[in-house]
Structures are given as C-alpha cells and as structure tokens.
Amino acid sequence: MRGITEPLAGNCSIKHRAASGPEFVARPSQLKRPRVQIYLPIADIPVNIFLILAMGAAVGFVSGMFGIGGGFLMTPLLIFIGITPAVAVASVASHIAASSFSGAIAYWRRRAIDPTLATVLLTGGTCGTALGVLTFTYLRSLGQLDLMIALSYVVLLTTVGAAMLYEGFRAILRTRRGVLPSRRTHNWVHALPLKMRFKRSKIYLSVIPVVAIGILIGFIGAIMGIGGGFILVPVLIYLLRVPTSTVIGTSMVLTLVTMVFATVMHAVTNHLVDAVLALILMVGGVAGAQFGARAGQKIRGEQLRLLLGLLILAVGIRFAVELVIRPEELFTIRETGASL
Amino acid sequence: MTVRALLAAALLAALASPAARAERLIVSVSNHRVTVTPNYSGEELVLFGSIEKDASTPASRNSYDLAVTVSGPRADMVARRKERRFGIWINRDSRQFLQVPTYLALFANRPFDDIASADVARRQQLGLNNVLLTQRVGPDYADVVPNDAFRSAFVRLQKARGLYREDTSALTFLTPTLFRAGIPLPAHVPIGTYDVEIRLFAGGALVTKTDSAFEIVKVGFEQFVATSARQNGLIYGLVTAAMALMTGWMASIVFRKD
C-alpha cells in the first residue's frame, strides 16, 4: 500500500505539495469531449463523469507525489468548474477522508503514528471542526460564505506558497554551497506548562500548543475543505519538533478524523455533501495517488518543494484575481426556505 | 361598446347561475405526472383544450385570447447584489422574496399588451412584469415596481436557468376554438405540484378561467441521494463517511505492495 504519502516517508522532506499547474489544469478540459453526463444530486448540476474522474486522478497524482491530501487543490478545481463553494467544501471533506485513511493504514502498519500525540491533537481537532462547521453555516446564512472561502484561500495559499518558494530556494542554495541546515533544539513552545511525554515521538511537550494546533487545523479544514496537512506537517516539525518518523502518519490521523467529522457535520447542518461527487473523486484520487507516489520518488526533495510552493501560490493568486475583477453577474439568488 | 355591454351581461348571468356561462374551457395536460429520471434532459408537456360555446354565447364573439400561467411549488428565495468594497467584490445588499414560484411559465397566443389593457394585465398578473413577487421590504411585505433592480435581476436569473419564462407565441389555436401550448420543463425543475391556470379573454376582458395541475416526480438513484441528504442528514453523513473509509481501505488493499 503506502500510496498516498510514500515519497515523504523516504526522504523526510516535508513541506512539499504542489503540481505543475498548467499541465493539470489543462487535462480536465481536454477530457470534456466524451458525453457521459452524470447528474450530481446535491450540487444540482450535470457534469461529465470523466472530467470529475480525471480531476480526482490529477489531484490524486499530485497528492501522491507530495504526500498530501490535496484538498486545497480539489476544492478550488470544483469551484472553478461551477460547483458552488459550499458544496465543494462539504464534499471534498469525504474525499480527503478516503485518501487519508488509506495513507493512515500504511503508516499504522509501519508503526509511524504516535497514538498519544494523535489523541491530543484530535481533542483540539474535533472542537475546531465543530466550530468551523458552525461558522460555515452562519456565514452561509449571511451570504458571505463564498467570499470568506475565497479570502481564506487567498490569504492562506499565497502566504504558505510564498514561504515555501522562499524556503525551497534557500534549501537549493544551501545544498549547492554544501551547508547543512542548523536546527535549534528549543523554542518558546517548550517553556509552556502542562507538559506530557509522547513516547513514540520521543518528545516531552506541553499539551497547550498541540491542542491549539488541532483546533486551528480542524477549523480551517471545515471552512475551506482542506485536510490541512500542508500546514500541519511543517508546524509539527518546526514548532513542536516532532520527528519526521511519526509526523506524517500522525498528521494523517488528524486529517482523517477531522474530515470524517466534518463530513457528518456538514451533512447534518447544511445538507451539502454530494456523495456521488465524492465517490467519483475518491476513486480517481486513490488511483492517481499511486502513480503520483512513484513519480514523486524520482524528483529531488528541494525541487518538489519548489514545485509545490509554485502550485499553491498559483491557486491563491487565481482566487485573488477572481475577487478583484468585476463579476459578469452581480446578482445571485438562493432558495432559503422550502416550499409550503 | 356593444361587446362590452354584452360581456357585462354575460358575466352577470354567469354570476347569477354558473350553469348559464357563455363559454366553458375544457383543458388537459398530456401527462399529469411527469417522472424525471436521471437521464432526463428536459421535455415538453403539452397542454391542450377547447373553448366550448353554448346557446348564450353572443354570436358576435368569435375571437378569443388565452393566457396560461404555470406555477411550480413556492419557496422563499434571497437575491444578493455584489458591490465593490476595498477593491474586491462583496455581497452587500440583499432582498428576500417570499413564497415565490420556483417555476413560472406564462404563455399566450399573442402579446399581453394586445390581449388586455395595462390595467387589466396588471390585475390579472399577465406577463412577468405583472406577476406578484412578494418581497420583504423592512417590516412590510410588498411587490415592487417591475424595474426594481432586485426584482428584474431575480426574474433575469430565473429566466437564464429556464425556470421562468414568458412566451406570447407558445399558445396556438388549431381551430378558432381548439388550442394547444407546450410547457417546457428543464432537467432541473423542482419537484412538486404545478398549477396551471388558463384564462380566456375576449375583447380585452376576462371571460372565464379554469385550472389544471400536474406533478413532477423525480426517481432514480440521484433523487434518492438528494432526498436522503435533506431528510436524514445524520444517516446520510455517516453513510458517506463510511463510504469514504471503505474506499480508502480498499485502496490500501488493492495497491498494497508488500
């Protein structure tokens, strides 16, 4: 197995997650030709089943290559093909749950998951998810959900993308000069109280930052339709000094549980989870991930990181442009109450 | 003038004893229960009928006009308008439309302006500009002028989705008293009961009217999914989550390398 996150396990370089943007955006449109329409019951639009499968496979490929869930690519892609942001976010949650589950199984078999750390993260994660879904519902009733989703993507993806690019360039320069990155062993996090021992990770750490990170990831995951691995993994490594042997497996457990929880919560509160859409994405995704994982092993870690940074930045900029240009249609309508 | 007088007399007679009405409308739709299957790509329902005259019909009255209103199940809707704020486009103003039809089709044999005067058209709600679309305006409920920005945007968007339509040539007379009209139903028509109201005009005034109805039912897997998502959110969510876990687990078996 070990499909989804294979490459990372090998070379320990974490922050990767990108794909060559143009190539994978072009793919779906080329596949538009066969007329195999399927009606998405919740999204309420007919789509080409092969287009969705291809999108699932493309994102799966990228996620396999970089060892990420791929939510931050899947959700925007769905929005760009005309699925409403609300349905896209809610449906992608279950897609991420599927891919992170197959990943988590593999890491579990290798004993690369720290159960204690995962449990503490999850206490925060489930609260964060619940909070996120409630905020999502509230924003939707205000009519500001789409805006907030877009804004969150702009802010998160441009900063993370830019930081990765910067880091990526620095890493490449470092390797050229032959300097090894120096690592401080302690930071302010280690001064916090309520410390406990995380055996498998061999760290002794306050639970406060761990729970806080869980809440944050759960919250943004529920609102943005992302697993949050691409933020979580760097944070766990650089802030909490979680060793690379357990970091991905453990973060995957958090992603898995928060996304399963988000799926159920979104289904209960907003009735927006499109199971048909999610299933097609999953099937495409898990298959694509296998090929992505193989491709990822052939590329160097630094280059992978640069590519991922570029991709993340590109998606963020795409959202920013969308917000700034004048929309063709200024009005939108939505049904708020059922018929009597 | 004489026509008007006669008409008034006829109407009075009609009020006095329903059996003595001058004209009667007999209508039917081709299908009272439209089943929308997953591969349904929109079809047309046919409304046909005839105008029955009886002995009391004034002999001079030969030309009729018909206006057909098909309205789907009602729902509350909200329309929002984006405005530029801090350089980005944000939803600012919104209006709530209360219990408006989710599907509305207005048909006639000729333009509504020719059928009746502006006053009658307004009272009879002929044409999309005259249909009552109640908005919540502060604490009040009222319809607004047809050129109101939100109202016209609402009608425009519904028209673009094929859910609102106005066609003053869709109704055709096969003979002077026999007529038919096609009611187009796009693939995404809301499910529920649709009321069909047929009104007969002569000389610019309403002569008689009749009603019919049909039902839109959606069947198939997609509809089952949509219904369960709305009615059993928790079970639906749990099943979807279980499906995700199954898919992930299957993938881990299928692609297992060791």
HEC readout, B110-176: CCHHHHCCHHHHHHCCCCCCCCCCCEEECCEEECCCCCCHHHHHHHHHHHHCCCEEEECCCEEECCC
- What pLDDT shows up at residue B2? 53
pLDDT tops 60 at residue A27: no
Confidence of residue B195 (pLDDT cuts 50, 70, 90): very high
DSSP state of A334: E
Q: Return the residue of A nearest to B100 by Cα.
A: A339
Question: CB distance A3–B88 less than 8 Å?
Answer: no
Give the lowest-confidence range in A72-76, B39-43, B105-109.
B39-43
Residue bearing tokens 């879904």: A133
Q: Are A277 and A52 in contact (CB under 8 A)?
A: yes
The Cα-based distances of A14 to A157, A158, B226 in angstroms read 17, 18, 40
Distance from C-alpha of B123 to C-alpha of A173, rounded to nearest angstrom: 78
Q: What are phi and psi of B195, to 5 degrees?
A: -95, 135
Distance from C-alpha of B137 to C-alpha of A171, rounded to nearest angstrom: 60
- What pLDDT shows up at residue A15? 36
Q: What does the block give as tokens for A104?
A: 């988590």
Which residue in B91, B154, B157 has the most chain A C-beta atoms within 10 A of its own C-beta, making it the best mutation to test that interface?
Answer: B91
Distance from C-alpha of A150 to C-alpha of A139, rounded to nearest angstrom: 13
Q: What does the block give as tokens for A261?
A: 């929880």
For the stretch A215-269, pLDDT in tens is: 999 999 888 888 888 888 888 888 888 887 788 888 888 989 999 999 999 998 8
Question: CB distance B222–A2 less than 8 Å?
Answer: no
Q: What does the block give as tokens for B109?
A: 């044999």
Q: Are A164 and A307 in contact (CB under 8 A)?
A: no
Task: Tell me the whole-structure pTM to 2 decimals.
Answer: 0.73
pLDDT tops 60 at residue A2: no
> What residues pair up with B135 in beta bridges, in sequence order?
B97, B142
- What pLDDT shows up at residue A26? 37
Give the lowest-confidence range in A102-106, A180-184, A270-274.
A180-184
pLDDT tops 80 at residue B257: no
Question: CB distance B247–A39 less than 8 Å?
Answer: no
Q: What are phi and psi of A65, to 5 degrees?
A: -65, -40
- What pLDDT shows up at residue A30? 39
DSSP state of B190: P
Mean pLDDT across the stretch B220-233?
81
Chain B residues near residue A267 by CB distance under 8 angstroms? 229, 233-234, 236-238, 240
Question: CB distance B74–A275 less than 8 Å?
Answer: no
Q: Is B111 at the interface with chain A, CB within 8 A?
A: no
In chain A, residues 280-319 whose CB comes closer than 8 Å to chain B:
282-283, 286-287, 289-290
Question: CB distance A101–B248 less than 8 Å?
Answer: yes
DSSP state of A181: P
For the stretch B139-171, pLDDT in tens is: 777 777 777 888 888 899 999 888 899 988 888
- What pLDDT shows up at residue A29? 39
CA end-to-end span of chain A: 52
Question: CB distance B73–A105 less than 8 Å?
Answer: no
- What pLDDT shows up at residue A340? 39
Q: Return the residue of A nearest to B238 by Cα.
A: A264
Distance from CA of B132 to the nearest CA of A (A): 17
For the stretch B60-72, pLDDT in tens is: 677 888 899 999 9
Question: CB distance B243–A268 less than 8 Å?
Answer: no
